[in-house]
């Protein structure tokens, strides 16, 4: 009986991808609760709701177009563009608290989050070697639980 060497799951490229997960999570979640509070204090509760709605609606809408973008420009550029659109517009809020600006910033952040999630999820799946992927996706939840219980 011979032992077959399996390729490592964690590679340099996957570590870089994990860093982008942390960066995008920080870029999304930190302002997620602060922007509505900022909008409410500067322009009222309706603008706070509109800011969240703009972020969420643009996220869902752009998630539909993100695979085509990734196919056109590649993972690296898509992730860079997504991270930039997720974080950079927030800096505009330092200069203006106008309702239209807050809503536009939230919409741009939604675009960035959508691109980052779609491109990042697809890239992560490709970075894990096929022979090291678990049973997820084969047989629904009953295929996933053994993989979750018997971690390598």
Tens digits of per-residue pLDDT, 31-71? 888 888 888 888 888 998 999 999 999 999 999 999 999 99
In a domain, 1, yes or no: no
What is the predicted pLDDT for the residue at 138? Answer: 52
CB atoms within 10 A of CB 65: 13
Domain range enclosing 127: 12-149
What is the predicted pLDDT for the residue at 142? Answer: 52
**For residue range 68-115, what is the model confidence (pLDDT) as tens digits?**
999 999 998 999 999 999 989 999 999 998 999 999 999 999 999 999
> What is the rounded average pLDDT of the residues 129-147?
60
For the chain, what is the domain count? Answer: 1
Cα gap 86→93, rounded to integer Å: 13
In a domain, 7, yes or no: no
In a domain, 2, yes or no: no
Is 32 buried (19+), middle (13-18) or exposed (0-12) by CB count in 10 A? middle
In a domain, 4, yes or no: no
In a domain, 16, yes or no: yes
In a domain, 136, yes or no: yes
Q: Looking at the predicted structure, is the pLDDT value of residue 135 above 70? A: no
In a domain, 41, yes or no: yes
In a domain, 119, yes or no: yes
């Amino acid at each position: 009986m011979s032992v077959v060497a399996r390729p490592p799951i964690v590679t340099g490229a996957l570590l870089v991808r994990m860093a982008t997960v942390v960066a995008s999570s920080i870029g999304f979640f930190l302002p997620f609760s602060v922007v509505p509070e900022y909008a409410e204090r500067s322009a009222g509760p309706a603008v706070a709701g509109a800011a969240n709605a703009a972020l969420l609606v643009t996220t869902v809408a752009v998630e539909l177009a993100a695979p085509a973008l990734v196919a056109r420009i590649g993972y690296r550029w898509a992730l860079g563009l997504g991270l930039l659109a997720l974080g950079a517009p927030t800096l505009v809020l330092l200069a203006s608290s106008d309702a239209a600006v807050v809503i536009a910033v939230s919409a741009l952040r939604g675009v960035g989050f959508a691109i980052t999630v779609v491109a990042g999820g697809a890239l992560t799946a490709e970075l894990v070697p096929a022979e090291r992927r678990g049973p997820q996706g084969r047989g629904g939840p009953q295929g996933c639980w053994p993989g979750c219980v018997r971690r390598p």
